[in-house]
Amino acid sequence: MYSWLWRKKHNNSNVGPNQHSAILQQNTMMNTWHCRTILCVDDEESVLESYRQVLSISEEDTELADILAMADERSGDSSHTPKDDVPNYTLLFADSGAKAIEILRTEMAAGRRVAAGFFDMRMPGMDGYETIKALLELDVDLVCTVVTAYTDRSVTQIRELFSGSHQDQLLYFKKPFAPEELAQSALNMISSWNNKRRVEEYMRAIEKHKHGLSHILHAVGILSCVPPHSLQSMLTGLLFQFMAFLEADHGFAVFWPNKDGQKKLQYGIGRFENQENLHHLVEENPDFKSSLQINRCHIADNVCFVPLVSQAQQFGAMYIEAKRTVDIRIDRGLLEIFKTQMVQLILNSLYHQQAMMSEEESITDPLTGLYNRRFLMKVWRHELVRSTTTHMQLSVLMIDLDDFKKVNDTYGHEAGDAALRKVGNVLRLAVRSCDLLGLGKNLENIGKTDQYALRLGGEEFCVILMNTNGSGAQQVAERIRANIAKGGFIHKGEEVPLFASIGGWSGDVDLLELNDDDQLESYIDYADKALYHAKSTGKNRVVFYTDGMTWKT
């Protein structure tokens, strides 16, 4: 019985240093194709032996190649390569259809492909037609050549299996065959299979590039809507988009200002969420340092370092863990394009910040650090109009401290200032967590879910929630109320109780309404009416205004 598997391999364990060039030259020839495996199926042992003799490089040829290679090394000539027109195929042999199916299954289970096969038609048990049909069900890409001594129904029957787009996967010739005919058929089959795989790979690369570029354009469009002064939102948005691009679950982004003393920004997702000092991971990792130094993305298996650098200025970096190995050959160019676009957005944000620095001071309350009424009149309406395409959901909260005069009269104005600063901290934390929550739930609203906290004067505060419905606004309002009441505040070692009433309004607005100053003021007036109702019905509560009447959350 003929051996069903025969693999021709070089044994390099005893190769001397002068023989490596010959083997390297031959291996270069062998690597012309990605797959060179051929399955030969025939019930006649003599036919299988013919396949082996014609399609394989003999041991004598290999030994001769080594001898000539050593001679070439000494003479400086490299012209001798015996049988350099014969590719080094991997040959698999089967003397029945059942054994051929077993071989193909074994190869596929091991992650190896079989490119082509020679098939006899008349065999005991499964004939050639049944064998090819079964093999194509396992691997539809198999290129087949029918080799038969009979001119009966076999060729017509086989041709039916290769109808449509697979017609070029069928070849046939008659026994007895000439060695040249067999060798040329093998070359054509292997070339056809690999050319198809190259085209498929190329088309996949094109589709991946199209998808990647589409994602970049989409992401840039979204992040361009981020208000220029919201650098934390920008950083968060960049991280989300990079992670979506690389299909990642874990990652973090850090940003460091170019001025000493300014606060460093960071944001983590997955296992990096709520971690502190993520900057240290950047500063202490040599791959990260190198990536920043040369301003190129560094990819190692499923990990990607993304430097955020413009010319000599380093703004920050990202660390992303993808779900699978990053395809360097396809993705690196897209990553660099993506990175360049993101850095430009950061630059635009920084330029805007510098231009507005003096104005920012004029629209900020110095005691609490919140925006003031001037911001509301000068900036808010502009932000709403810029962030709204056709319509959006808007919520407004009015917050007023209960019995604040009593705090000043009892504990003094220093205590009153401490109370106002606590409210400022509560509002700042509330809108920040609300903004990040909105970003995490809906990437489409990056830059549109901005929350603004303002001190309008005295003990009166306002919170504006863009793209937030009534239910979401109620949750924010209740959280603010509870956090103001929690523990009051400490003045000269003494705990002072502190409570607030909150009125709210939520509704849909569009561009026409936003261009109407009176309509814009009416939203605040609705929330103010709800605040008045909260004050008059017991204080320390949240009440919302709707359709001309108020209701309690």
Q: Structural domains in the chain?
A: 5-198 (3.40.50.2300), 224-356 (3.30.450.40), 363-552 (3.30.70.270)
| pLDDT over 70, % of the chain | 67
Q: What is the mean pLDDT of residues 244-259?
A: 80
Q: What is the mean pLDDT of residues 485-514?
A: 84
Q: What is the mean pLDDT of residues 85-102?
A: 87
Q: For residue 353, what pLDDT band results from cuts at 50, 70 and 90?
A: low
CA 32, CA 328: separation in Å to the nearest integer?
22
Q: What is the mean pLDDT of residues 176-194?
A: 88
CA 420, CA 431: separation in Å to the nearest integer?
17
Average pLDDT, the chain: 76
The contacts of residue 94 (CB under 8 Å, 6+ apart) are 4, 39, 40, 41, 100, 102, 103
Start-to-end CA span in the chain (Å): 86
Q: Tell me what pLDDT residue 109 has.
A: 93
Check if the beta carbon of residue 160 is closer than 8 Å to that of residue 151.
Answer: no
Q: What is the mean pLDDT of residues 427-439?
A: 65
Torsion angles phi and psi, residue 40, rounded to 5? -110, 120
Q: Is the pLDDT of residue 542 over 60?
A: yes
DSSP 24-60: HHHHHHHTTSS--EEEEE-S-HHHHHHHHHHHS--HH
CA 469, CA 302: separation in Å to the nearest integer?
39
Q: Which two tokens stand for residue 235?
A: 């950083």
Express each pLDDT in 161-182 by its tens digit: 666 555 666 777 778 888 888 8
| The residue count for the chain | 553
Q: Tell me what pLDDT residue 95 has.
A: 94
Q: Tell me what pLDDT residue 280 has.
A: 81
Lowest mean pLDDT among 75-89, 174-188, 192-206, 247-261: 75-89
Q: For residue 13, what pLDDT band results from cuts at 50, 70 and 90?
A: very low
DSSP 358-384: HHHHHTB-TTT-SB-HHHIIIIIHHHH
Check if the beta carbon of residue 38 is closer than 8 Å to that of residue 115.
Answer: yes
Q: Tell me what pLDDT residue 50 has.
A: 92
Beta bridge partners of 552: 543
Helix axes 231-246, 413-441, angle to 10 degrees: 20
Q: Tell me what pLDDT residue 443 has.
A: 40
Which of 89, 91, 108, 92 shows the shortest CA–CA distance to 100? 92
Q: Where do the DSSP E strands lie in 293-449? A: 298-300, 303-310, 313-322, 391-401
Q: Which two tokens stand for residue 330?
A: 């396809």
Torsion angles phi and psi, residue 143, rounded to 5? -90, 125
Q: Tell me what pLDDT residue 447 has.
A: 44
Q: What is the largest CA-CA distance in the chain?
A: 114
| pLDDT over 90, % of the chain | 22
Q: For residue 269, what pLDDT band results from cuts at 50, 70 and 90?
A: confident
Lowest mean pLDDT among 83-92, 261-270, 320-329, 433-442: 433-442
Express each pLDDT in 283-335 by its tens digit: 788 888 888 888 888 888 888 888 888 877 788 888 888 887 776 545 677 77
Q: Tell me what pLDDT residue 172 has.
A: 72
